[in-house]
Chains A and B, each alone.
Chain A
Amino acid sequence: MYRYDEFDAKFVAERVAQFRRQVQRRLAGELTEDQFRPLRLMNGLYLQLHAYMLRVNVPYGTLSSRQMRTFAHIARTYDRGFGHFTTRQNIQFNWIKLEEAPDIIKELANAEITSIQSSGNCVRNITSDQYAGCAKDELADPRIYCELLRQYSFLHPEFSYLPRKFKIAVTGSPNDRAAVAVHDIGLRMHRNEQGRIGFEVLVGGGLGRTPYIGQTIRKWLAPEDLLSYVEAILRVYNMQGRRDNLHKARIKIIVNQMGIDKYRELVDQEWEATRNGALKVPDAEVERIRSYFAPPAYETLPDMAAELAAARKADRAFDRWVRGNVVEHKVPGYAIVNVSLKAPGRVPGDITADKMDAMADLADRYSFGEIRVSHRQNLVLVDVKQSDLQRLWRELFALELATPNLGLLSDIICCPGLDYCSLANARAIPIAQDISRAFTDLDELQRIGQFTINISGCMNACGHHHVGHIGILGVDKRGEEFFQLTLGGSSDQHASLGDRLGPGLAQTEVPAAIRKIVDTYLVVREHGERFIDTYRRVGIEPFKEAVYGSESQAA
């Protein structure tokens, strides 16, 4: 993984010193809250319901065991012993004190981690495929360009006060695990007609109050043009994005208002003037970054299909886990292991300091000291020897990190909601807990098959409910919490936004409604098709009927 050179280290140290000064000025009253707010947000510090919350970047989802141990240390020393992994490859600590924040980011900086621009009206953490570098279906490792973009975006003097936040995601595989279609800029690596790898550029995707699927602004972009083209997109946005209404300020609004063709025209005009200038990416820099992502010291091992099959046959629970959470690796003899942070009844994405340390140990012993964070709020050990799988599974099982539910009904994506977040209208975590405890039969879960549930506690959609197979949005109606369901969303390369099922349900009605949707699907599905395929085939009516039917509807 990338390691700071002298420039990166100096930069981060200077940023830490600057933030310390800004905090001192605020505590001394030299800065008003209004003046201070964007500054602390650009260092990842929110004021939430209970305390300050610090959001720390895990750039493109790649974490070293040392960095995970640092998270455990921060959780113990400055917080309440746990952290929360988000849908954008970040970790959040919920009980931070402002006066300790400079020390915290200093400790993070020592481990080469930052919270820089994890919030604010600037370019946020650049996210990617959690299997990058290891997936069999990968064309090229996207993280090299994520790292290039990360440095480019940090304290960009022109783009630190954009109309609104700006999120970029990159996938190196045609199977999009990074949800690029619902980002402000989405980058898909693919080959042009000459066989050269470059980027399809999508622009104007996003969730929240007005969700949109991103549109293609450019079919193929050469890698050396990446920064100049992104700069052109950002400049047009910075100058033309709306500043009059916070809820209409994202790039998706102006792209859809003026149309993608017009936006492309403006970007190309801008780009013509800059594409051969100082932003052209030198090969030397790409190669320098690439060297950090060289494959680890893989052993030459045979594929262990037969041995694995035998072990699975002998142990039902191990079999379920391999089927559910283990994915093929591109190197023979190795496997990608998904570590579930979604045990029934748990807070999705939360992990205690003790378990963070345990994960760091497991990473050191089983996976070259590296951990990945997925936007599904789970962790991944990407380089595990097949011969180690059963041993690793037993250790994960003992830690309650082995629930074999990846991408299944109880692998719920859930924002912190009203229990933590000052933006929320309703709680989200109890809903996730109720559902996960209503579906604990592992065989049933695997029979039901791929089924994503996403829960957001407000329209800001941090739980990505628009792109869940089932989306659940918490709303406040006259002081009571209600939950609106949507069906048919998807965040992969066939991205779609969910359709509203019907009026909001009370909290106690939600698990039963999910059950009815599942039962209807099981009756109607053909040839074992996934729920999303059944839904696209039969439409919403059967599910509407099942949930609302002829019963009197919720208020």
Chain B
Amino acid sequence: MPQMIIANRLTDGRVVFLAPGEQWNTAIAAGAVIEDDAEAERLLEVAKGHQARSLVIDPMLIQVRIDDGQVRPTEIREVIRAFGPTVRTDGEAAGPVTGIAPGAERRGEGVARLRRSTKE
């Protein structure tokens, strides 16, 4: 199971992913996909070092999957952290389809897809 490291950036609280070169990026697409467990542990230690230097908070390893070349977390919580709320944030009412917000549709998120992604 491929993994990635996720954290919150200290200064603005934004969700960030550890990218190649030990940099942090807000886009999961830029995050380093880690295939090897030993490498995962090593990078987690690197991330904890960044936490000790007050760059990020609560770095942790998450499981991801690659769907059509797109990286997605397997857990619903991390999907929401990576892609934002599943509900509209523009103050408008939810769209006509049950449980799926138009914004989520544009991101290709729909509830059904969220469900599938957690069944691994």
Contacts and interface: CB of A to CB of B under 8 A. Distances in A.
Interface of A: 26-29, 33, 47-52, 80-82, 96-99, 343-347, 350-352, 354-355, 418-420, 424, 427, 429-430, 433-434, 437, 479-481, 507-508, 511
A437 B94 contact: yes
A80 B94 CA distance: 18
Given A420-B85, A434-B99, A479-B76, A346 B11 contact: no
Given A29-B53, A50-B84, 6 more contacts: A47-B13, A50-B15, A51-B14, A97-B12, A99-B11, A418-B80
Interface residues of B, number: 35
Contacts of A480: 115, 118-119
B43 interface: no
Give the dominant DSSP class at B's interface. loop
B99 A508 contact: yes
25 contacts: A26-B54, A33-B58, A47-B57, A49-B15, A49-B77, A50-B14, A52-B12, A82-B89, A82-B91, A97-B12, A98-B11, A345-B94, A347-B88, A352-B91, A354-B91, A418-B80, A419-B85, A420-B85, A427-B86, A430-B86, A430-B94, A433-B93, A433-B94, A479-B75, A508-B98
A342 to B, nearest CB: 11
With a 10 A CB-CB cut-off, give which of A28, A355, A420, A511 has the most chain B CB atoms. A420
Contacts, number: 101
Nearest to B119: A479
Contacts of A429: 85, 87
B111 A98 contact: no
Contacts of A508: 98-99
Nearest to B57: A33
Contacts of A99: 11-12
A49 B85 CA distance: 9
A51 B93 contact: no
Contacts of B65: none
A97 to B, nearest CB: 4
Contacts of A350: 91
A433 B87 contact: yes
